[in-house]
Structure 1
Amino acid sequence: MQNYLHTIIEEASLDASEYQWKAPLRDHTWFKIGGFADLFIQTDSILKIQTILHRAKQYAIPIFFLGDGSNIVISDDGIAGIVIDTKTLQKSSPISIISSSEHECQIIASAGVLIEELVLFCIEQQLEGLLHFFGLPGTLGGALYMNARCYEGEIASHFIEATIIENNEIKKHSYIPDEWSYKLSPFQKTHPLIVNAILQVRRSQHPRDTLLTQALSYKQDREQKGHFRYPCAGSTFKNNRAFGMPSGQLIDQCGLKGMQYGGAAISDFHANIIINHSNASASDIYHLVQKIQAEVYQKTSFQLEPEILFIGRGYTQV
């Protein structure tokens, strides 16, 4: 594979600053866990990325698109092949307003833009609709891929259209309601590179200070709940209406809060958050998730479904 990777670097005309061999991926995830990428690429050139994707497919080299790493656990053995950092894409695609009416607005943003930066842009332009996402870790691309949801609102309700690269072709993917549901998006089926997206928001009658205060209240709520006390990926398991209660409450009622496996632990402030308590490995997280699933199933017959994704060598989703 190494020879093919060298060939891809040459054919894509990557500058030395645009790639790194054996890049430590723990520095690119919120869990602060993970091995190395064989080849880590950071470029804002869509043309170069298309060349990389074309050659990688030709040489049967796996590709993984990495955003802010806020919802994943990367294997201790790293990720085989090429990892492309999508945050770099925002350099060539600033957030902008593309259409506007008296009450509504459409904005376009790079998939690599951080959610917080997107919300701050909306506040500056006196736009609302995305304020409840303030403080949510991750990029716009990641939020679309996972159909991010918080405070009873999901990103799908604002999605209009995305530019994607699929089968090495640049395409437009418009919103189709039946393709979206709780924590699911059409992108989870085909795994394209999301380049940018158009979102619908509302014009606000409130001053910027009021909008900022409202946005900060959501982030402060996350902080008070302990979301940022330890390295973590937020909610570990999806909620399920069949449970009759949130997954965190179900785990708590099973008496599992505080359970540990190696350096990983169920947090004492929220039972649906697993934390990197003390130099946890990805294997620790993986085994703790399995242990929680087994305990909850034994006591309730409910099967918890992970929200976090296990990525890299040796993993199958639990």
Structure 2
Amino acid sequence: MNYNHHNKLKKYHTFSLNVIARAVYSIYSVNELIMLCKNARLNKCSVLLLGEGSNVIFVNNFDGLVILNRITSLNITESSIEWYIHVGSGNNWHKLVKKLIKNGIYGLENMAFIPGSVGAAPIQNIGAYGMEFKDVCNYVDIINLINGKQYRLNSHECEFGYRDSVFKHKYRENFAIVSVGLKLKKLWKPILTYSNLTSLIFTHTKITAKTIFNFICKIRKSKLPDPYLVGNAGSFFKNPVISSKYASKINLLYPLCPKYPQINGDVKLSAGWLIEQCNLKGYQYGGAAIHNNHALVLINKNNATGKDVINLARYIKKKVIEKFDIKLEPEVRFIGKYGEINAKDAIS
């Protein structure tokens, strides 16, 4: 168990806010996690488990213990038709995707370059370019931080939805994800349903997983600012899902609005496009601003505070409602003084 001899959190989350915690520890095993949480309870101290901090906004200083998840185990087995990957929740998601492709294990390439840890993937049900985490999830291992009992939830029990899962609800408090199991078919087929990827059909005689991986990395790098250079939490808002009836109305008024039909008949819209139509690119509130190249990304432009981010997000939500009568919801997690707070309520 390593103790970090300071409690500054700036380098432990990608938005790089100047916030502090009562204490910061790194853990490398489940036993260390259990022991730290037990000690925190005895001292009546709040606990926050962080992976790479790529999807969090600290609204205030955190009056508690921040535990940095560094459980990086990785075990790969196989059957005649599938690969089974058991991976510790502290692993970096993109590095995992890259490593598997390098070893001839395909199926995650569409989710390349998504920031964050493996443990965050099931919580958010991360997704990109026609895929979601639920499509490859075999199971998720969690631990009860109060009694130390471990449980394995199959994919169905995770109750995955659009950027949602049971880990945001039933298992939100006093539980932690310690590992996940992925299942990937050996008979690989490219997923090219997303509009940007269809161009590969016309530009490549042979499409491989590496082709898709490189293409998506290039796109994401061109759109998203490097958090090491400009603090950001990636996509700030969820893409709104509306009824087909209202989508038809939007289509009449704004025929260029990107629309993605859903299986249940609803239609998903691009939150970034909606924000851009409100002429908000580059708009700044305090030290927080909307990125000039990607309206869905908020950035730490000049020593932003958590309140700057909330006020900016609230303004964006207001403008989109005024123009489209559509309510945007944050995708990021908001952390208050003693733990996670409801991000949707925070910007109401």
Q: Normalising by structure 2, what TM-score?
A: 0.78
| Aligned-partner Cα distance in 1 for 2:55–2:21 | 18
Structure 1: segments with no counterpart, 5+ residues: 1-13
Q: In the TM superposition, what is the alpha-carbon distance from 1:139 to its structure 2 partner? A: 0.6
What do the CA deviations read for 1:224-244 (whole angstroms, capped 9, x no partner)? 224437321111110122174
1:161–1:175 CA contact under 8 A, matched in 2: yes
Contact in 2 for aligned 1:34/1:73 (Cα 8 Å): no
Say if 2:84 and 2:183, in contact at 8 Å, map to a contact too: yes
1:261 counterpart residue number: 285
Instruction: Kindly report which structure 2 residues correspond to 1:1-318, keeping only aligned pairs within 5 A, or say none.
Output: 14=1, 18-20=2-4, 22-75=6-59, 77-86=60-69, 88-90=70-72, 93=73, 95-98=74-77, 100-166=78-144, 167=146, 168-176=148-156, 179-189=159-169, 190-191=171-172, 192-203=175-186, 210-228=208-226, 230-242=230-242, 244=247, 245-313=269-337, 316-317=342-343, 318=346
Please report how far the alpha carbon of residue 177 of structure 1 lies from its aligned counterpart in structure 2 after TM superposition. Answer: 6.2
Letter paired with 1:23: N
Can you give the 5+ residue segments of structure 2 that lack an aligned partner in the other structure?
Answer: 190-206, 248-268
RMSD of the alignment, in Å? 2.2
Equivalent pair of 1:145/1:185 in contact (CA under 8 Å): yes
**Residue 22 of structure 1: how far off its partner (Å):** 4.5
For residues 31 and 153 of structure 1, the distance between their equivalents in structure 2, rounded to whole angstroms, comes to: 26
Give the letter aligned to residue 237 of structure 1: F
Query: How many matched pairs?
Result: 294
In structure 2, the CA distance between the partners of 1:110 and 1:240, relative to structure 1 (3 Å rule), is: same
> Deviation string for 1:121-151 (max 9, x for gaps)?
2113211110112211111101111111111
Q: Structure 2: which amino acid aligns with 1:105?
A: W
Contact 1:232 1:275 in 2 (8 A): yes
Cα separation, 2, equivalents of 1:283 and 1:227? 22
- Measured at CA, do residues 124 and 204 of structure 1 come closer, stay the same or move farther in structure 2, by a change above 3 Å? farther
Q: Residues 50 and 184 from structure 1, CA distance in 2 versus in 1: closer, same or farther, beyond 3 angstroms? A: same
1:107 Cα shift?
0.6
User: CA offset at residue 246 of structure 1?
Assistant: 0.9
Structure 1 residues 59 and 169 mapped into 2: Cα distance closer, same or farther (>3 Å)? farther
Q: Secondary structure at 1:50's aligned position in 2? A: helix
Cα 1:152–1:177 change in 2 (3 A) is: farther
Identity of aligned residues (%): 29
Give the aligned residue type for 2:85: I
TM-score by length of 1: 0.85
Question: Where in structure 1 do 4 or more consecutive aligned residues deviate above 3 Å?
Answer: 57-60, 209-213
